[in-house]
Amino acid sequence: MLELNAVESGYGETQVLHGLTLEAQTGRVLAILGRNGAGKSTTLKTIMGLLPLKSGQIAFDGKPIAGRPFDIAKSGIAYVPETRDIFPSLTVRENLEIAAKRFGSNGADWTMERVVDLFPRLGERMDNGGTQLSGGEQQMLAIARALLMNPRLLILDEPTEGLAPIIVKLIHDKLQELKEAGLSMILVEQNFGFATSLADDVVVVGKGQIVWTGSSDDIRADDTVQHTWLGV
Ligand SMILES: Nc1ncnc2c1ncn2[C@@H]1O[C@H](COP(=O)(O)OP(=O)(O)OP(=O)(O)O)[C@@H](O)[C@H]1O
Ligand SMILES: [Mg+2]
């Protein structure tokens, strides 16, 4: 579904990804794991066109990915950044409506009603401003907004960061529901248990390259890779 081949990218003069190659498959969840600073977020930003591809190829459904972030989103990839990036001065409803308006034409699968069914809490908070939301509610809103773009591939950067265990469990169950409904996902996570219980496939990034590839079961059984590359 999404293929990165020998990708090099970074920030200005600073190169972070050094020939990174990976593949995310249709209908599956791929976890990208790795220590702080390994290049996980940089990988996602490069996929989304937020950082320039210096060398290598990125293909979505076999075709080179569109260059600009808006076009990449339009092609069916939704991205929930680490920073969540909801509009603080807008209400929950307005945050959702923006996504629905800009991307609703991608297909009518996801509607306001359906995202509120998934996250009833958002239904209760519709008229609250972005700044009045808890961290968990912000993450639900960020995911709901991404779903309203009717993506074929959902990309999440550390969705559990800073959240209480009970909210982590809720987000886990909702992502599991989406997976069972057939949505393809790429998940970057520091929470090893969370990631490996959701993912089918796992890649580990170390210093801007893939240093390990396998299944969730494989990595759970591999103390050496956990110790060497994740510090678990
Ligand atoms: N805006 C930036 N400008 C310059 N360098 C950056 C920038 N953002 C990240 N870097 C550097 O790029 C490297 C990879 O960072 P990246 O954010 O991709 O790591 P990560 O694997 O997502 O880590 P974390 O688990 O901490 O989120 C790090 O050395 C980091 O310092
Ligand atoms: Mg990161």
Residue 11, ligand 1, Cβ within 6 A: yes
The ranges assigned to domains in the chain are 1-76+155-232, 83-151
Percent of the chain with pLDDT over 90: 84
How does 148-160 read in b/e, with b if 16+ C-beta sit within 10 Å?
bbbbbbbbbbbbb
Mutation test residue for ligand 1: of 41, 186, 203, the one with most atoms within 8 Å of CB: 41
Ligand 1 atom closest to residue 34's alpha carbon, by position in its atom list: 21
Residue 12, ligand 1, Cβ within 6 A: no
**What spatial distance separates the first Cα and last Cα of the chain, rounded to whole Å?**
30
Mutation test residue for ligand 1: of 42, 45, 46, the one with most atoms within 8 Å of CB: 42
- What pLDDT, on the 0 to 100 scale, is given for residue 197? 97
- The burial of 185, by beta-carbon neighbours within 10 Å (0-12 exposed, 13-18 middle, 19 or more buried), is given as buried
Give the CATH number of domain 1-76+155-232.
Answer: 3.40.50.300
- What pLDDT, on the 0 to 100 scale, is given for residue 106? 60
pLDDT 10s per residue in the chain (232 long)?
999 999 999 999 999 999 999 999 999 999 999 999 999 999 999 999 999 999 999 999 999 997 889 899 999 999 999 988 888 889 999 999 998 888 766 666 898 999 999 999 999 999 999 889 999 999 999 999 999 999 999 999 999 999 999 999 999 999 999 999 999 999 999 999 999 999 999 999 999 999 999 999 999 999 999 998 887 6
- What pLDDT, on the 0 to 100 scale, is given for residue 105? 62
In the numeric block, which tokens belong to residue 66?
Answer: 């569109």
- What pLDDT, on the 0 to 100 scale, is given for residue 84? 86
Helices (H) and strands (E) in the chain, counts: 10, 10
